[in-house]
A and B are shown apart, each in its own frame.
Chain A
Amino acid sequence: MSAVLAILWKDLVSEWRSRDRIVAMLLFSLLVVVVFHFALPVRPGGGPPEGLPGLLWVAYVFAAILGLNRAFAVELENEALSGLALVPCDRGFVFLGKATASFLLILLAQLATALAFALAFDAPLGRVAGPLAGIAALGAAGLASVGTLFAAIAVRTRYREVMLPLLLLPLLVPLLLGAVRATAELLASGRVPSDAIQLLLVTDAVFLIVSFVGFEYVLDE
């Protein structure tokens, strides 16, 4: 447990000192909003565009991938990755530390993206802020867990920035489907659909277990 906290603390402190991951993610989120604004047809009556939940989650996922890519790229400096592999405890706890740090960063990026969406698209996100935050957090947990596992893999490959989305996106479908469905239902009726939440919970649990166990094999001595 102390290893988890130590790694989490290390990641957060180094992020606080450089702020490069979070700045990149936030700027990217804002850019996505601008791109969506120009890409979507003009709505004469104003109001949020159709398929807003899907757009929101596309922005979340790509911002998360941006941050996750950097999560292990920074460890390449000074062979810090080998140091992580030598932490005298189960590597699953190293994973938990790294994943929790990414989870918090993704949450922050989600908050900023949601704010930008609410302002730019006149989206009524404020009314359902509480439940929406819950859904976002469930999505972020799944993203951070498999994302951390595959980022640790991708960082050791050629074209690592390209490899992470290629590995990650095909496996994210259940997560995205559940999250988009829950968000859409929430925005439409104000209720949170239990089937989508169940799907998110099961997916998160499976992703967490797979990543916790799999992480043992992705770090080199």
Chain B
Amino acid sequence: MSPDPIERAAARVSRPLGACLLALLVVFAFLVVQAPEDRSQGVIQKIFYVHVPTVLGAYLGFFVTALAGALYLWRDEERWDRLAASAAEVGVVFCTLVLLVGPIWAKGTWGRWWTWDLRLTLTLLLWFVYVAYLLLRSFTEGGPRTARFASVYGMAGLVVIPLNYFALELAGGRSMHPENLEGGSFGEGMGLPFAVGMLVALVAFAWLLALRVRIAGLRARVEEGELLAGETAAPARGGAGS
């Protein structure tokens, strides 16, 4: 078994993506420092440039998980399952960050760490679903059975998002959380750092996913005993730490 196309692509793009991310992070940090301070919230509002883009990574992760799960069930090819598992892990990382960064901002501006607001609750539920997804994977013995179970659960998790949205709105979405950005709430000088922040999140997501997919592929081949000792093992170890 040679590396499948997804793993080959991941191996090829991971290094350029990493370099790109490093450069973008420098630009991003500079732009956030330069961005004007919010008149009412002060400097803490700058957490916004991290908070909102992280949400993008979380949703991307869960969307890719469900999509790759569907492709696995359809085509019965293991590589789709490896992509789904990788995306779920990366998505959980981003979602955890959202749930850590959000309360810091909330404590600073609303005066409390947590409220049972529509968006907060929705994100928390999403986190629970995908942590359960990862648990399910690790509690099943592996192979096609794990892949099938996880695919079904990952897709069910995505299907429930709109239902949750509807349900929580019905429950009276007492919303402290700001509504969408379309309201033109951007002040002058906020657009560029935000756009770069979104780009950073996108590149960071792609980079982590590429690393994770590569590890999954290498691991699968090690388990099949086809990878010779020493061959391309070093980058995998480097990636596992990130």
Question: Given A163-B135, A177-B168, A202-B163: A171 and B156 within 8 A (CB)?
Answer: yes
Question: Given A163-B139, A167-B132, A218-B149: A173 and B155 within 8 A (CB)?
Answer: no
Interface string of B158-171 (1 = CB under 8 A from A): 01100110111011
Shortest CB distance A166–B (Å): 5
B27 interface contact, C-beta 8 A: no
A170 in contact with B136 (CB, 8 Å)? no
B54 interface contact, C-beta 8 A: no
Q: List which A35-68 residues lie within 8 A (CB) of chain B.
A: none
A181 in contact with B171 (CB, 8 Å)? yes
Tell me which residues across on chain B come within 8 A of A214, comparing CB atoms. 152, 155-156
B157 interface contact, C-beta 8 A: yes
Tell me which residues across on chain A come within 8 A of B132, comparing CB atoms. 166-167, 170
Distance, CA A210 to CA B151, complexed state (A) = 12
The size class of the interface chain A forms with chain B is 20 to 34
Distance, CA A115 to CA B139, complexed state (A) = 38
B125 in contact with A173 (CB, 8 Å)? yes
Shortest CB distance B222–A (Å): 23
Tell me which residues across on chain B come within 8 A of A217, comparing CB atoms. 73, 148-149, 151-152
Tell me which residues across on chain B come within 8 A of A159, comparing CB atoms. 139
A195 in contact with B170 (CB, 8 Å)? yes
Tell me which residues across on chain A come within 8 A of B159, comparing CB atoms. 206, 210
Q: Is the interface of B mostly helix, strand, loop or mixed?
A: helix
Distance, CA A177 to CA B27, complexed state (A) = 45
Q: List which B102-149 residues lie within 8 A (CB) of chain A.
A: 125, 128-129, 132, 135-136, 139-141, 145, 148-149
Given A157-B140, A195-B170, A214-B155, 12 new contacts (CB under 8 A): A153-B136, A153-B153, A157-B139, A157-B149, A158-B139, A173-B168, A174-B163, A174-B164, A181-B170, A202-B166, A214-B156, A217-B148
Distance, CA A163 to CA B146, complexed state (A) = 14
Shortest CB distance A203–B (Å): 6
Question: Given A156-B145, A159-B139: A177 and B170 within 8 A (CB)?
Answer: yes
A173 in contact with B164 (CB, 8 Å)? yes
Tell me which residues across on chain A come within 8 A of B145, comparing CB atoms. 156, 220
Tell me which residues across on chain B come within 8 A of A178, comparing CB atoms. 167, 170
A112 interface contact, C-beta 8 A: no
Question: What residue in chain A is nearest B130 (Cβ atoms)?
Answer: A170
Give the most central of A153, A156, A171, A177: most B CB within 10 Å: A171
Shortest CB distance A81–B (Å): 12
Residues of A within 8 A of B (CB): 146, 149-150, 153, 156-159, 163, 166-167, 169-171, 173-174, 177-178, 181, 195-196, 199, 202-203, 206, 210, 214, 217-218, 220
B128 in contact with A170 (CB, 8 Å)? yes
Question: Given A171-B157, A214-B156, A217-B148: A157 and B136 within 8 A (CB)?
Answer: yes
Tell me which residues across on chain B come within 8 A of A181, comparing CB atoms. 170-171
Question: What residue in chain B is nearest A215 (Cβ atoms)?
Answer: B152
Tell me which residues across on chain B come within 8 A of A153, comparing CB atoms. 136, 149, 152-153
Distance, CA A114 to CA B23, complexed state (A) = 63
Distance, CA A115 to CA B57, complexed state (A) = 48
Question: What residue in chain A is nearest B69 (Cβ atoms)?
Answer: A217
Question: What residue in chain A is nearest B149 (Cβ atoms)?
Answer: A153
Shortest CB distance B54–A (Å): 20
Tell me which residues across on chain B come within 8 A of A166, comparing CB atoms. 132, 135
Shortest CB distance B121–A (Å): 8
B170 in contact with A199 (CB, 8 Å)? yes
Tell me which residues across on chain A come within 8 A of B157, comparing CB atoms. 170-171
Question: What residue in chain B is nearest A196 (Cβ atoms)?
Answer: B170
Distance, CA A158 to CA B139, complexed state (A) = 5
Give the most central of A149, A150, A220: most B CB within 10 Å: A150
Question: What residue in chain A is nearest B129 (Cβ atoms)?
Answer: A170
Tell me which residues across on chain A come within 8 A of B168, comparing CB atoms. 173, 177
Shortest CB distance A110–B (Å): 21
Distance, CA A214 to CA B129, complexed state (A) = 17
Distance, CA A171 to CA B153, complexed state (A) = 10
